[in-house]
Structure 1
Amino acid sequence: MTDEQGSPRAAGTPEPASPRPPVFVAAVDSLSATRVRAEVVIEPLRPPQRLAPWSWALSADIIAPDGGDLASGRLVLLHDPDGHDAWDGVLRLVAYASAELDEQMGVDPMLPTVGWSWLTDALVERGAAHRAAGGTVTQTTSTRFGDLAGPATTVSLEMRASWTADHPDLGPHLLAFVDLLCTAAGLPPEGVTVLSPS
């Protein structure tokens, strides 16, 4: 049993006073119906309850052939029928993404700018009509010492972003978000096979 925001609802919990708005229903349906590439595992999440009257969320993980995580993220849909001045609309997508990158990228001062372009370029290439995009990209380098297992140096990238969708067909937005994660994970474009050196 789920509540009107698509989250699990305990037995005996009263129904919400108002039905889900049609725009929100269409947006959730479009996200639920979108198929992503095989390397990506999509699962529903309990959405935040206080950011907007209506919300829905999912997680996305890029799985390596050995079963490890290459990149992970969350995408949250917020809907306020009255809109927000800061949103410039009624449908807001909030994204979080993280990935460990090649060590050589850690010294590149342009990495945050490049990381942000992975999202904005993907939105354009997927035809995900949007506006009022903003966010932060954090670049972190960690070095292990002593007996700690693992690579000596790791570089991680974290992105927090949000943007307003122009219409409730959000499939292109989810595909763009997946493209961002795949790029951060170092995967080739879908349908492209990387040949191993002989």
Structure 2
Amino acid sequence: MTSLVPVPQAVTVPEPADPSTPAGAPALFRDTVAALEATALRREVRLSPLRAPQRLAPWSHAVAADVLGADGIELATGRLVLLHDPDGEEAWDGLLRLVAYASAEIDPEIGVDILLPTVGWSWLTEALTDRGATYRAAGGTVTQTNSTRFGDIAGPVSSVSIEIRASWTADDTALDRHLLAFADLLCTAAGLPPEGVAVLSNR
């Protein structure tokens, strides 16, 4: 008698879902996340995925950003969060809200200026304007911190840092412009010249 041996069936393993575009996400959210992920930034800026806050909006996406110097030292750091509510938010005055945080140590000669918070806020608004990123309902805070080190702590005796926390509503869906503006803000806070501008050596 011939015994029949069952032939194993091929098993199809579904591909894991992309966490940045979860199943069921609205088309507007998927498109704006795709625009962010496809944005090419200047070489000093490094982006990395970040767990997005879950309670601020029905849909959210976040990235962390660091600005590195030629020697690999971190010059500035920040994060950018995209929030989307298909029903809109009255406080947002729109459907897409961006929340940004940027932090950097500042040259002490500039850091003692009492107008630094005003200047820091202008770094953001001018970057958005220069990149053609239309927005409304912008708000935030700029914190200027002076620190003095004592005892056995490495680093300069005194340092000044700036923290910028801001949010704004995008008037358009070209969020690559908003990400570019955020990168410009970080690079300005880090003391880098505009992209494509070389700094001449004192020699």
TM-score in terms of structure 1 length:
0.91
**Distance of 2:165 and 2:46 partners within structure 1:** 20
* One of 79, 87, 91 as aligned partner of 2:92: 87
Q: Which segment is superposed worse, 146-155 or 180-189?
A: 146-155
When normalised by structure 2's length, the TM-score is 0.89
Paired residue secondary structure (1:164): strand
Quick one: distance in 2 between partners of 1:4 and 1:153?
A: 42
Tell whether the 8 Å contact from 1:92 to 1:163 is kept in structure 2 after alignment: yes
Q: Quick one: which amino acid aligns to residue 166 of structure 1?
A: D
Gaps of 5+ in 2: 1-15
Q: Which runs of 4+ in 1 moved over 6 A?
A: none
Residue 106 of structure 1: CA displacement? 2.3
State the shift of 1:74 in Å: 0.2
Correspondence 1:27-66 to 2 at 5 A? 27-66=32-71
Correspondences of 1:24-173 after superposition (within 5 Å): 24-173=29-178
Flag structure 1 segments of 5+ consecutive residues without an equivalent: 8-15
Local SS of the residue matching 1:147 = coil
Task: Tell me the SS of whatever aligns to 1:190.
Answer: coil
Change (3 A) 1:2 1:109: farther
Greater Cα radius of gyration, structure 1 or 2: 2
Q: Deviations over 1:83-128 (max 9, x none)?
A: 1111000000000000001011221000000000000000001000
**Structure 2 CA distance for partners of 1:152 and 1:134, relative to 1, 3 Å:** same
CA RMSD of aligned residues (A): 1.3
Preserved CA contact (<8 Å) 2:117 2:144: yes
Match of residue 12 from structure 1: none
How many percent identity over aligned positions? Answer: 66
The structure 1 residue matched to 2:197, chosen from 188, 192, 197, is 192
| Alignment: residue pair count | 188
Distance across 2 between alignment mates of 1:36 and 1:103: 28
